Structure 1
Amino acid sequence: MALGQRHLTRRRFAAGLASLVTMAATIARSKAALPTIDTHAHVFHRGLKLAPGRRYAPDYDAPLALYLEQLDRNGMTHGVLVQPSFLGTDNSYLVECLKQAGGRLRAIAVIDPTITADELRALDRAGVVGIRLNLVGQPLPDLGAAEWKALLAEVKTMGWQVEIQRNATDLAVLAPQLLDRGVSVVLDHYALPDPKLGVDDSGFRSVLKLGATRNVWVKISAPYRNGAAGEDLAKAAYPLLRDAYGPDRLLWGSDWPHTQFEASQAYANNRQFLDALIADQSERAQVLASPRPLFRF
């Protein structure tokens, strides 16, 4: 081989090696840059107007600054604020917090089904990406009623989600009705199987079947909301949910500030429970990053 050809070959080899190194560095940065998203938290303060007929009202403040501090301390890049039930349908503080957070947060609102399309669009522009139905202790809505049909049509058009908190037996009935309307569905807190029956709850088993739709997500959050054996139930439920839904349809949430469980819960402890629940680091990273498209990060 001529001297010039050898030099050309060496240059090409060096260029190829440099390209591989650059590609590896890009992949490494991409992996390191995966978002870590807390999909369930609440912010409020005692000066806000409380909803009539509320089941509970806190006697302390959980302001935005304190929540952002929790994210920073626990290595979380983004968060999702969920309108607490005791504030009803007044989402003004929620929207104010979204503006202050500069794109780091998204939100799930609580709304009246008679809300106008213009009001929904304003929430959408602010960073709201769905509505919540907290149906604990509440009558089930008639999703076939005209006002609900109109609302769900708007939700579908905007690409929002409908988040539901209810026991697994009722979720197994409600979720298919929402899916029939073409909307994405998120089920709170491991889908709340019956604490006495655990993963043998027939409603929970029906919820597992919804994973095949690929349009339902489940929050692996707040195991303590399922009774004294909540953590054990979560450990039994997680592998079943993972197999039925896949890690990309499971969402972690801190449930900060753990309303009604403040004395026994803390953000760091719930984050550590996730590490114990999902021992595989890559799987855990996938769960923490999976909310990105759903919540428009």
Structure 2
Amino acid sequence: MPHTRTAPILGIDSHAHVFSRDLQLTSARRYTPDYDATLALYLANLARHGLSHGVLVQPSFLGTDNSYLLAALAQAPEQLRGVVVVARDISRAELQAMATQGVTGIRLNLMGKPLPDFTEPEWQVLFGHIAELDWHIELHRQVEDLPQLVRALLPFGCKIVVDHFGRPDARLGVNQPGFIELLDLGTTGQLWMKVSAIYRLAGDARQNLEFACSVLPLLEQSLGPQRLVWGSDWPHTQHEQDVGYGAVMEQLRALGCSESLRQAMLVDSPAQLFRFVLPENT
């Protein structure tokens, strides 16, 4: 069993994946891994870079079989939380069982998929369960579609977490379709943003980092630091040859965050969102 720790919380990585190439992959996948991203490797990265806790997110190529993620949570229950991918007709009892295992949200990875109609009865029942559990709904979709998706989810009263800056195109600047509209929705109090995966912002390395640096103050102003969380996106699927854990930590430093914002993004905000217990509250 990997070495685990509980307190103090030195830093929470709010977005990472674990998997094995030997697992059964969903047929509707966009990516097939040819390596293993094990929990032991992940925990070693956390320790090496001065972090202590993490959030494991179900990768899209594993579909709704969350068994590998749940097994990982069981090995370090105080140190890890989970975000799962589920079928719309999953029962309340199944979700409750996952909650006892450290799951705090579901992910809707809508990249490359038709936009869902959240007025359909199955979605409404599912989101009702999510609201009752006080979980969050994590959205992964290009920024131009996010405002309409967020507005459709707001009436359910759930916390909404947007992946990877909302997947904007760094080459288009802040005035691209959807981005300012998404920022405006930060005033609802239900929206959170993952400051993660700068390398997925469609430009070259310089453009991506410059965009991230320029929009972080806007995110801090619109959502507030209490709703920003940082994630490594380890093991950086589809970018493994160019990106490593050290590189994303360097990007975090390059953002030039104030100490208070860094504390918020790496400790206070994710501790609240993912239900980690801060030492002073134990």
TM-score of the two chains, using structure 2 as the length reference: 0.91
Could you tell me how far apart the structure 2 residues matched to 1:69 and 1:181 are?
38
Which runs of 5 or more residues in structure 1 are unaligned?
1-31
Deviations 1:169-193 (A, max 9, x none): 1111001111111110000011122
1:180 equivalent to 2:159? Answer no
Could you tell me how far apart the structure 2 residues matched to 1:233 and 1:221 are?
13
Q: Which residue of 1 aligns with 2:53?
A: 78
Comparing 244-253 and 148-157, the one that deviates more = 244-253
Task: Give the AA of the match of 2:240.
Answer: E
Q: Which residue of 1 aligns with 2:166?
A: 191
Q: Which residue of 2 aligns with 1:276?
A: 254
Could you tell me how far apart the structure 2 residues matched to 1:102 and 1:241 are?
31
Q: Which residue of 2 aligns with 1:158?
A: 133
1:292 equivalent to 2:268? Answer no
TM-score of the two chains, using structure 1 as the length reference: 0.87
Task: Give the AA of the match of 1:44.
Answer: F
Deviations 1:241-284 (A, max 9, x none): 11111111111000000000001101111112112203422321
Could you tell me how far apart the structure 1 residues matched to 2:29 and 2:60 are?
7
SS in 1 for 2:174: helix
Task: Give the AA of the match of 2:69.
Answer: L
Aligned residues: 266
Shift of 1:34: 5.1
Q: Which residue of 1 aligns with 2:90?
A: 115
Could you tell me how far apart the structure 2 residues matched to 1:195 and 1:271 are?
20
Out of 126, 129, 137, the residue aligned to residue 104 of structure 2 is: 129
SS in 2 for 1:199: coil
1:98 equivalent to 2:65? Answer no
1:207 equivalent to 2:207? Answer no
Could you tell me how far apart the structure 2 residues matched to 1:147 and 1:55 are?
25
Shift of 1:74: 0.8
1:260 equivalent to 2:235? Answer no
Shift of 1:33: 4.5
Deviations 1:11-37 (A, max 9, x none): xxxxxxxxxxxxxxxxxxxxx955411
Deviations 1:145-194 (A, max 9, x none): 00000000000000000000111111110011111111100000111223
1:244 equivalent to 2:247? Answer no
Greater helix share, structure number? 1
Shift of 1:128: 0.7
Task: Give the AA of the match of 1:136.
Answer: M
SS in 2 for 1:54: coil
Could you tell me how far apart the structure 2 residues matched to 1:102 and 1:197 are?
41
Could you tell me how far apart the structure 2 residues matched to 1:52 and 1:154 are?
28
SS in 2 for 1:57: coil
Could you tell me how far apart the structure 1 residues matched to 2:145 and 2:72 are?
32
Could you tell me how far apart the structure 2 residues matched to 1:123 and 1:34 are?
23
Runs of 4+ in structure 1 deviating by more than 3 angstroms, as ranges, are 32-35
Could you tell me how far apart the structure 2 residues matched to 1:196 and 1:283 are?
26
**RMSD over aligned Cα atoms:** 1.3
Deviations 1:81-129 (A, max 9, x none): 0000000000001100000013200010001101111111111111110
> Does the CA-based 8 Å contact 2:195-2:228 persist in structure 1?
yes
Task: Give the AA of the match of 1:293.
Answer: Q
Could you tell me how far apart the structure 1 residues matched to 2:50 and 2:258 are?
18
Percent sequence identity over aligned pairs: 49
Comparing 51-60 and 270-279, the one that deviates more = 270-279
SS in 2 for 1:200: coil
Which runs of 5 or more residues in structure 2 are unaligned?
1-6, 277-282
Deviations 1:40-92 (A, max 9, x none): 00000111110111111110000000000011111112100000000000000
SS in 2 for 1:133: strand
Point out the structure with max Rg over C-alpha.
Answer: 1
> Does the CA-based 8 Å contact 1:35-1:292 persist in structure 2?
no
